[in-house]
Structure 1
Amino acid sequence: MEQIKNSSHAGGEYLVFTLGQEEYGIDILKVQEIRGYDQVTGIANTPSFIKGVINLRGTIVPIVDLRIKFALGEPSYDQFTVVIILNVAKRVIGIVVDGVSDVITLVSEQIRPAPEFGVTLNTEYIQGLGTLDERMIILADIEKLLTSQDMQLAEEAAEPA
């Protein structure tokens, strides 16, 4: 069995959410709250995955639709659509997902390294793959994803003019 040498693959608690047919897990410590999808205020000249901003108790929060970011087809917004409010890199940001299922605890033995796909697929945002019973959960490094270069646009979109 392959051993994981990177300490970032130590176990922990993860919030599990769905995007399409896949389950993803993010570090529960980054999650501020979970809420239903509300109307957002659109911002001109932003990529399609940046839906806009919301006012969350006085804080302007950019909303990123991960379904669009990951090209998972045409998203629908209904009573089941969920926004996860995160604290990432000293910012508050919301991500739109299909649904939230549960919080799981994984130990390091349940986490495998992300497979290498070469240049065809960018896996730098994948911390590893968690296994729980028959489930395979993609563990996303949400901080790396939301602070990547294209996400800087979300930062700029939320800046007051």
Structure 2
Amino acid sequence: MLDNLNDSEPFILFELAGTTYALRSYFVQQMEMIEQITPVPNAAPFVEGVVFSRGQVIPAVNLRVRFGLEKIPYNPRTRLIVIHAGSRTVGVIADTAREFISVPVSTIQPPPEAISGLSSKYLEGIVTLGERLVLILNAEELLNSAEIEE
């Protein structure tokens, strides 16, 4: 049906610790390789520092650390995903990011009520793509964290 084609949204998919996450593509400004991160004193543990990207200095947030996962060294697949929502721009660090897909809105499920804490704060929905579950993140909530200091 043509109506179903019009009722889909584009997402950028990325991975952290073997789990696939998604962000609505209109929040994503660009994706790039990690080059140099300048540490910032007294920043939250998940804020790696700041990066200079396309003429602006932005905080770089390690999503592994933010989500309570083990921190790993960067490699050539590690990506900085620059997100802009509201008045904030932040770079989030992911293990890998290379997929762009369109998801029918009707296939997005709300997060289970049993999920609580930080997980539910950042989780907007869940979608099944083939054999994998994809967790859709709420970019606005991710960037609204008062702990991220620019």
TM-score of the aligned structures, taking structure 1 as reference length: 0.82
**Distance in 1 separating the partners of 2:125 and 2:74:** 29
1:145 aligned residue (110, 117, 142): 142
Residue 87 of structure 2 corresponds to residue 90 of structure 1:
yes
> Of 26, 37, 59, which aligns to 2:56?
59
Q: Which runs of 4+ in 1 moved over 3 A?
A: 118-122
Q: Which amino acid aligns with 1:113?
A: P
Amino acid at match of 2:81: I
RMSD of aligned alpha carbons: 1.7
Amino acid at match of 1:84: I
2:13 maps to which residue? 16
Conservation of the 8 A alpha-carbon contact between 1:50 and 1:65: yes
Identity of aligned residues (%): 28
One-letter amino acid of the structure 1 residue matched with residue 51 of structure 2 = I
Gaps spanning 5+ residues in structure 1: where? 1-9
Q: Distance in 1 between matches of 2:87 and 2:117?
A: 32
Can you give the 5+ residue segments of structure 2 that lack an aligned partner in the other structure? 1-6
Q: May I ask how many residue pairs the two structures share in their alignment?
A: 144
CA contact (8 A) 2:83 2:139 kept: no
d(CA) in 1 for partners of 2:115, 2:84:
31
Q: Which residue of 1 aligns with 2:132?
A: 135
What residue number does 2:107 align with? 110
Question: Aligned pair in 2 of structure 1 residues 118, 19: CA closer, same or farther (>3 Å)?
Answer: closer
TM-score calculated relative to the size of structure 2? 0.88
Aligned position for 1:78: 75
**Which residue is equivalent to 1:44?**
41
